[in-house]
Structure 1
């Protein structure tokens, strides 16, 4: 068992706030679904998009035409297939540019990558379904991770997923239901994962030793707001031989210091 680090970082989680009811807007929901689908798929025609999302083809056509007009989609006139447009890139750049966390975290991630020879990431964890990479620093390493700024992952995946569970508000039955959908290179049983979540809450950091990506160790620490709620995560990834037991714990300790610094600098307004 690794030594405990920063026990004071993990108080009992506060009561979950009452969920606010959001009235659905079908056109907006369908537009977002189309953008997400095309962000994860090769170019598709209207019929294929409609079938994939269960939309009426004529409705789908009207939506994609508007998205093309706004440059969020582009269409290949020869094949009549749609893909994401340059307008999405502009939006993504604006998100990163205006993100206080990204601008503050980037130089710190660069320092960690240079010192430890690992790839580091800043991950936004707000939301129960997904996490997104908002800052990235690549090291000169003998392996490459298929990740870029803007990449999205299921919220419970890897080391950060254990932290989402540890510092979140969901019950164990809710977590178990969503855990079943997570894909691992080396699958882990829910009972074992639950113990690692509890250890992450106790120690203040989490380490995935080859479960998510075989042969790769991933270390994650939470960035907590003034209410001790997790808003972001700092992540380091390297070969498992490189981040063995003592080294993984040592880099976690270094990342905790960075996370504490970020927490004091971020203008939380929750």
Structure 2
């Protein structure tokens, strides 16, 4: 860790959409007929999605309606529906709309893991900005390691910077407590693994197990300066479709900077973020 402003720590616009319908009936003269029907609300919804995707910036409903020549009331109602379906995001503070991550789920099978990590970044950035923390994403690497694959810092002057690529023992830190609760280790196996860990400040196996059990109950874990001096971490599991921990998402902050109620609120927010990341990463 360095005492600088950054503190390093080891933890698409279309104009028309149509719905084609082929009739099984015959028209007079014995010829088959195909009729094309344009459902205007559907067409407008697709135009809105294409517009938001191409602009790449949040827009007010009135501006979207003007750009696309859609009735303002109709545009507003379509946007509300798209938000409810999770394909458009709404910012209540700025009253703006932007393309939502739900769009990604429509083409989930076409997205590579690297692209999935890029889709996870905005969610991590939002949490980092809201709570003034650094948000990290760790991927399980084999049977005994995790590797940092993504990190998003808060926009504040003072924050903890964590470079991607670093690796840790699977039972280390807040993430380690999550794995310890799910790996099915016997007491003796856990003791053997625990004795190989090197902590920044002492923690007994008994205290570690209590924190593992607590993490199991509440769905998130914490490490209060045991992994890195002066740093507190809060983590939650990101599970794959088989309910195995594939990633953990963690927040790191200056130790002692928040009260118990604030820590609990952050823990719940991290747990909620982990659930949202599951829909993006898997």
CA distance in 2 between counterparts of 1:143 and 1:258 reads 20
- Contact kept, 8 Å, 2:128 with 2:153, in 1: the verdict is yes
Aligned position for 1:144: 160
Aligned position for 2:226: 211
CA drift of 1:164 comes to 1.0
- Contact kept, 8 Å, 2:134 with 2:159, in 1: the verdict is no
1:143–1:111: structure 2 CA closer, same or farther, 3 Å change rule? closer
Give me the CA root mean square deviation.
1.8
Aligned position for 1:73: none
Aligned position for 2:202: 187
Match of 1:158 among 173, 178, 184: 173
1:243–1:167: structure 2 CA closer, same or farther, 3 Å change rule? farther
Secondary structure of the residue that 1:222 maps to in structure 2?
strand
Aligned position for 2:267: 252
Deviations 1:190-218 (A, max 9, x none): 11101111111111100111111222210
Deviations 1:129-148 (A, max 9, x none): 11101110122353534x31
CA distance in 2 between counterparts of 1:113 and 1:120 reads 6
- Contact kept, 8 Å, 2:133 with 2:160, in 1: the verdict is no
Match of 2:190 among 149, 152, 175: 175
- Contact kept, 8 Å, 1:215 with 1:239, in 2: the verdict is yes
TM (normalized to structure 1)? 0.59
CA drift of 1:98 comes to 4.1
1:174–1:112: structure 2 CA closer, same or farther, 3 Å change rule? same
Secondary structure of the residue that 1:107 maps to in structure 2?
helix
CA drift of 1:172 comes to 2.6
CA distance in 1 between counterparts of 2:185 and 2:119 reads 29
1:243–1:172: structure 2 CA closer, same or farther, 3 Å change rule? farther
CA distance in 2 between counterparts of 1:250 and 1:244 reads 10
1:241–1:193: structure 2 CA closer, same or farther, 3 Å change rule? same
CA distance in 2 between counterparts of 1:168 and 1:126 reads 14
1:194–1:100: structure 2 CA closer, same or farther, 3 Å change rule? farther
CA distance in 2 between counterparts of 1:141 and 1:129 reads 35
CA distance in 1 between counterparts of 2:157 and 2:260 reads 19
1:151–1:101: structure 2 CA closer, same or farther, 3 Å change rule? farther
CA drift of 1:187 comes to 1.4
Structure 1 unmatched ranges of 5 or more: 1-96
- Contact kept, 8 Å, 1:220 with 1:233, in 2: the verdict is yes
Structure with the larger strand share: 2
Aligned length: 170
After the TM superposition, which segments of 4 or more aligned residues of structure 1 sit over 6 Å from their partners?
none
Aligned position for 1:87: none
CA distance in 2 between counterparts of 1:258 and 1:264 reads 10
Structure 2 unmatched ranges of 5 or more: 1-111
